Amino acid sequence: MPHDASRPSLTSPSASAVNRGRHPEGSGEALQLAGRPVEAERAYQAALARNPDDARTLSNYGGLLCSRGQFDRAHALLSRAVTLAPTLADAWSNLGNALLQLQRYDEAIAAYKNCLQRNPAHALALSNMGVALDRRGAHDLAQKFHQVAVRLTPDNEQTRTNYALSLLAQGEYLKGFEEYEWRWNTLRQRRYGMDAPQWKGEAFPDRTLLIYTEGGFGDMIQFSRFIPSAAARGGRTLVSARRELLSLLRQSFPEYTFISSDDPVPPHDLQCPVLSLPYALGTTVETIPFSSGFLKTDPQKAAFWREKLHEDAPEGTRPLRIGLVWAGAPHAEVQAAELADRRRSTNLATFAPLAGIVPDALFYSLQIGEKADQARTPPKGMRLIDHTALLRDFSDTAALISALDLVIAVDTSTAHVAAGMGKPVWMLSRYDQCWRWISGRSDSPWYDSLRIYQQARPLDWSEPMQAICADLKVFARQHPPA
C-alpha cells in the first residue's frame, strides 16, 4: 500500500497569520487548504504576476504543484524561492519533496537539511528526511528522524505511517505493523462501511469476522495467507475481495466463504482489513506462514493450459517456457500508487537482453493493461507468445503460470500469484524497494521461490537485467528440455 510522503509545507504571508493559522480569503493558500487546487493555482499565478519575486508564494505554489504530481514545474519554482529567500524553511522542505519524487535523493536530503538548520522542529521535513534516507536504504538513520517527527506530531497519521514503513523495510514486524495501524482513521473506516470493532487477534467464538480487501490485487494475494490463522481463533470468517480474485481465492481456501467487494457488506461482529492481519496475529519475519506456497490452481484450467502450451512448441520438443511481466497497473486515481508504479514499471524493450540467452526458449506475455500491446512487437530474436486474451481473472492467470517454468516480472500482482504458487519468480525491484521485500535481501521470507533483483540506481534496469541473464543461463542448464 503506497503512502504519499511529500506533503507540502504552506508558508503564511505574515508572522501574525502563522500564529492564527489563517490566510487571507481568496488567497492561493486559503484555496489550497480548502481543497480547491485549480482555483488555488490561478490565485498563485495572479499573485506572481503582481510580484514574481515573492518567495513565499513561489514556495506555496511549488508545494501545490508537488501535491498534483508536477514535480519538474515545482522544482523550478522552489529553486527560485530558496534563492530569493534562503532562510525560508518551508521552501526548503517543499524543494526536498520535489527532489524526493524526482528520485534525486542526495539533493533532497540536502534540501531537508537546509530546512532543519532553519527550523529543527519542522515535523514535515523531519519525516520526509526519514523517507529520503529510507529510499537510500539507510533505515537506522532514517528512523532517528522518524522518531523525532513522531514525538513532535504523535497523532499525525502520515508521520506515523512513514515510520512504520521504515521499520517494516528492516523486518521489524511487531513494532512496524503496530505503527502501520496509523494508516487508518475513523473517517476512512466509515468509507469502507465498517462500523463493527476492528479485530485485534482475540478469540471470537460464536461471532463472525469479516476480513476485507485493502490496497491492490498483490496486497490481497500476499496477505490472504493469514486467513486460516485468523479463522482458527473464532467462529465464522467471511472474506470480501475484488471479483477478479474470487475464483483463485475460493480454489485456494475452500474452507472459507468469499464474497465480492461489490456486494453489500454482510452482517458481522468484527472486521479487519487484510493488511492488518499480521498485526492482529503478532507476525514476525520468522512466523510468516506458507512461504512455500498457498495458492491452488483449478485442475481443469491447468490441464487446458498444459495442452495449449504444448501446441505452441515445435513437434517433439519441450522448450523452456518463461512468463514475462514488464509493468504494473498505474492506479491513476491514487497519486502515491501512480508514482510508485512509475518507478516499478518498465517496457518490454527492457527485457530485450533475454532474447537468445536460451536457444529455442519460448516467452509468454503475462502482461495485462495499457502496456500489454507491446507484446505485438517483441524485441528482436525473442519468441513471445501472447494468450492473455484468454485470461478472464486471476484463476486463469494462475493456471497459465502453472504450465510455465519461470516467471520474470516487475513488482506486481502477477509476481505474487506465481510466487504464491511456489513457481520460480525473478522479480525486478525498483531502487526505493517496497518495504515488504526487506532491505538488503535478494530472497524473501514471504515466498521461498522468489529471487529479487534490485536496481543499483534509480530508473536503471541494466544491472538487474545483466544479473538475470547470467542466472538464466544457469537455470537453463539445470532445467534442460525434456
410-426 confidence digits (pLDDT tens):
999 999 999 999 999 99
Task: Identify the pLDDT of residue 27.
Answer: 86
CATH number of the 15-184 domain: 1.25.40.10
| CB-based contact 151:186 (threshold 8 Å) | no
Architecture of domain 299-478: 3-Layer(aba) Sandwich (3.40)
Task: Identify the pLDDT of residue 423.
Answer: 98
- In this chain, the answer to whether the domains covering 15-184 and 299-478 adopt an identical fold is no
**φ and ψ at 293, to 5 degrees?**
130, 150
Task: Round to whole Å and give the CA distance between 225 and 425.
Answer: 18
Q: What is the pTM of this model?
A: 0.92
9-50 confidence digits (pLDDT tens):
555 443 322 223 456 667 888 888 888 999 999 999 999 999
Sites in the chain below the pLDDT cut of 50: 1-6, 12-21, 186-187, 191
Task: Round to whole Å and give the CA distance between 425 and 448.
Answer: 10
Task: Identify the pLDDT of residue 34.
Answer: 86
Task: Identify the pLDDT of residue 481.
Answer: 65
Can you state the angle between helices 105-118 and 89-101, rounded to 10 degrees?
Answer: 160
127-162 confidence digits (pLDDT tens):
999 999 999 999 999 999 999 999 999 999 999 999
Spell out the domain ranges in the chain. 15-184, 189-287, 299-478
- DSSP class of 7: P
